[in-house]
Structure 1
Amino acid sequence: MAAHSHHPAHHHPGRTPDRIDWSSRLTMLRQADELDAEAHRVVARRLVRALPDTPTVLDIGCGAGGMAVAFTEALVARGGGTVVLVDATPELLDAATSAARSAAAYGGDTTSAPVRVRPVLADLAAERPVDLAGPAQLVWASNVVHHLPDQRSAVAGLVEAVAPGGWLALAEGGLEGKFLPWDLGVGEPGLQERLAAARAQWFVRMREDTHGSVRMSGGWNTVLADLGLLDVTAFSYLVDHPAPAGQAVRDWAVDRLRWFAEIAGDLLHPADRRTVRQLLDPGDPAYLGSRDDVFLLLANTVHLGRRA
């Protein structure tokens, strides 16, 4: 997971270099997809607008299927196409495929659904996207590349899967998601910032510990341009659920904080670890899951480039 996003990327624990058990994250990924659904729809419509009729969209590291559903809806609205879902975790791929096929069949029976949904179980650390499903008019990869040992080489592999004139959309970077008020009434104020710092340290360590890890210097736009893509640009989209938020946001915040504690807990001061335990304890008055001041605010950035 990138040092900014509220979504983990998606890989199989037994095979992938990042050593994260993604199948256990299905509930959390589904929660995040639910909270991002509106933003995803806007992004998907924007990206498919430039594509030819009945295009193929390749969703790399599809996770629980949030963007897959958005792409399917966007293609249904403009007369059809194909959505190819690629993930290394069977549980996630199954969930994404079911969700996207439901979206394709919505308003009609499955036999006449204008959008075909095709799942591909594959590990990107070992397989080339173009061999799995290319060439596609749009290749989408969200918070996936930074989990692969050689990020630049991974992007080169994505570029190979883009059809001539097609687009690569790489969702990486943005602004770290915030969900806690500055002063929670327990512990020292500013916990969110210290959690973010601990997570950034964890992320550096995760990259260093990834087998065969190669450092990528510079920004994503320079990588896309160096790999020969044209019209390289980017846009960011906001996910904004202000307080008082619904239960879905609170549940997400509890899971999110628990995840922080798991991955970066040892990097926090013992006093902060105590505060985190209080916030995660349903019997504590400070429990995150029943607070009115929990919210969700973040920005994700999508980097775009066109293949000649």
Structure 2
Amino acid sequence: MGTVLRVAAHSHNHAHAHTHDGIDWSSRLDSLRQADELDAEARRVVARRLVRVLPDNPTVLDVGCGAGGMSVALVEALSARGGGTVVLVDAVPELLDAATGVARSAATYETDTTTATVRVRPVLADLATERPVEIAGPAQLVWASNVVHHLPDQRAAVAGLVEAVAPGGWLALAEGGLSGKFLPFDVGIGEPGLQERLTAARDQWFVRMRENTAGAVRLHGGWNLALSAAGLVDVTAFSYLVDHPAPPKQAVRDWAVNQLAWFADVAGDALHPADRRTVKQLLDPQDPAFLGLRDDVFLLTANTVHLGRKP
């Protein structure tokens, strides 16, 4: 699961939630944008690596594009090698609009020699009920980051993504890695080791979220097995770091405050009352321990990208 939920989930179980996982994604837009800003440099490297092997003028699908962080990186990477098309797919109109805006701004990205043309095409669609190949395929590269684990049948979702890959093309599935860290081991109040207990509580929440998703099917084993079972070859993976060490810039502190609030929100009763009190202090701008003013906050996370080629 890893960083999965670092950017990608917030559960208030609002009645107006947009997706079947019970998460009100539109309320997460600011947090997603915040995380996109901190992840931007690492994603540019990933995008360049992924498009390097593609044919000229390819079509790239960004499935579950969120606020558009990777969309921008893919547009820039395609611009630098002569152009192409980026198709953005999301089930939440507010997120799709935001992603389309930033991706289209990046599409005029100028290389040293020329302004390459990258077309950006938004598609509003829910992967739980619609087949990617019918809405946007086939594509030479399909990118899906932290989206499949929110769908009821993950194995079927992978098969659906594979269907949208053109023969010889690639599926890049960003899932798992190492859980992100942002707190020192001993924050100076409460019991040391708060980060680990927050992560454990978050993992319990994730299991419950999956259990409460209508029609949920467990995915046994690793993602590489799911890619191979869906008919892909040359299945491999690589991981990339997002590393913002202490002392942090203010954007990292702001992100950490939101992240801690989200952890506390999903942890609920799984967190010991003493830890809940500690969290309350860390989130209180009037408290000396307030996270938003600390110099020992950081962001370190490892994201894994699973790759497979369609024969």
Normalised-by-shorter TM-score class: over 0.9
Equivalent residue in structure 1 for 2:302, among 290, 299, 303: 299
- Partner of residue 22, structure 1: 25
- What secondary structure sits across from 2:43 in the alignment? helix
Equivalent residue in structure 2 for 1:71, among 59, 69, 74: 74
- Partner of residue 168, structure 1: 171
1:207 partnered with 2:213: no
Give the partner amino acid of 2:151. Answer: L
Give the Cα–Cα distance (whole angstroms) in 2 for the partners of residues 189 and 219 of structure 1.
32
1:153 partnered with 2:153: no
| Compared CA separation, residues 160 and 9, structure 1 to 2 (3 A) | farther
Q: How many Å apart are 1:107 and its aligned residue?
A: 3.6
Does the aligned pair in 2 maintain the 1:15–1:123 contact within 8 Å?
Answer: no
Q: How many Å apart are 1:265 and its aligned residue?
A: 2.3
Give the Cα–Cα distance (whole angstroms) in 1 for the partners of residues 287 and 257 of structure 2.
13
Q: Deviations over 1:246-281 (max 9, x none)?
A: 000000000000111111122100000000000000
TM-score by length of 2: 0.95
Give the Cα–Cα distance (whole angstroms) in 2 for the partners of residues 155 and 268 of structure 1.
33
- What secondary structure sits across from 1:105 in the alignment? coil
Q: Deviations over 1:51-70 (max 9, x none)?
A: 00000000000000000000
Give the partner amino acid of 1:165. Answer: G
- Partner of residue 222, structure 2: 219
Q: How many residues align?
A: 304
Q: How many Å apart are 1:3 and its aligned residue?
A: 4.5
1:30-109 to structure 2, matched below 5 A, reads: 30-107=33-110
Give the Cα–Cα distance (whole angstroms) in 1 for the partners of residues 242 and 253 of structure 2.
15
Give the Cα–Cα distance (whole angstroms) in 1 for the partners of residues 162 and 94 of structure 2.
27
| Compared CA separation, residues 45 and 9, structure 1 to 2 (3 A) | farther
- What secondary structure sits across from 1:188 in the alignment? coil
Give the Cα–Cα distance (whole angstroms) in 2 for the partners of residues 250 and 306 of structure 1.
39
- What secondary structure sits across from 2:157 in the alignment? helix
Gaps in structure 1 of 5+ consecutive residues: none
- What secondary structure sits across from 2:7 in the alignment? coil
1:183-194 to structure 2, matched below 5 A, reads: 183-194=186-197
Superposition CA RMSD, Å: 1.6
Does the aligned pair in 1 maintain the 2:80–2:116 contact within 8 Å?
Answer: no
Q: Deviations over 1:33-75 (max 9, x none)?
A: 0000010000000000000000000000000000000000000
**Taking every aligned residue pair, what percent have the same amino acid on both sides?**
78
Does the aligned pair in 1 maintain the 2:107–2:118 contact within 8 Å?
Answer: yes
TM-score by length of 1: 0.96
Give the partner amino acid of 2:108. Answer: A
Does the aligned pair in 1 maintain the 2:257–2:283 contact within 8 Å?
Answer: yes
Give the Cα–Cα distance (whole angstroms) in 2 for the partners of residues 225 and 126 of structure 1.
23
- Partner of residue 284, structure 1: 287
Give the Cα–Cα distance (whole angstroms) in 2 for the partners of residues 300 and 152 of structure 1.
20
1:125 partnered with 2:128: yes
Q: Deviations over 1:223-266 (max 9, x none)?
A: 11111101000000000000001000000000000111111122
Q: How many Å apart are 1:10 and its aligned residue?
A: 9.8
Does the aligned pair in 2 maintain the 1:232–1:306 contact within 8 Å?
Answer: yes
Give the Cα–Cα distance (whole angstroms) in 2 for the partners of residues 168 and 202 of structure 1.
28
Does the aligned pair in 2 maintain the 1:249–1:295 contact within 8 Å?
Answer: yes
Gaps in structure 2 of 5+ consecutive residues: none
Equivalent residue in structure 2 for 1:252, among 255, 270, 278: 255
- What secondary structure sits across from 1:138 in the alignment? strand
Does the aligned pair in 2 maintain the 1:3–1:200 contact within 8 Å?
Answer: no
Equivalent residue in structure 2 for 1:116, among 96, 116, 119: 119
Q: How many Å apart are 1:9 and its aligned residue?
A: 5.9
Give the Cα–Cα distance (whole angstroms) in 2 for the partners of residues 30 and 189 of structure 1.
31
Give the Cα–Cα distance (whole angstroms) in 2 for the partners of residues 98 and 57 of structure 1.
17
Give the Cα–Cα distance (whole angstroms) in 2 for the partners of residues 169 and 154 of structure 1.
13
Give the Cα–Cα distance (whole angstroms) in 2 for the partners of residues 269 and 15 of structure 1.
31
Give the partner amino acid of 2:7. Answer: H
Give the partner amino acid of 2:69. Answer: G
Give the Cα–Cα distance (whole angstroms) in 2 for the partners of residues 9 and 77 of structure 1.
32
Compare 11-20 and 251-260 and name the one that shifted more: 11-20
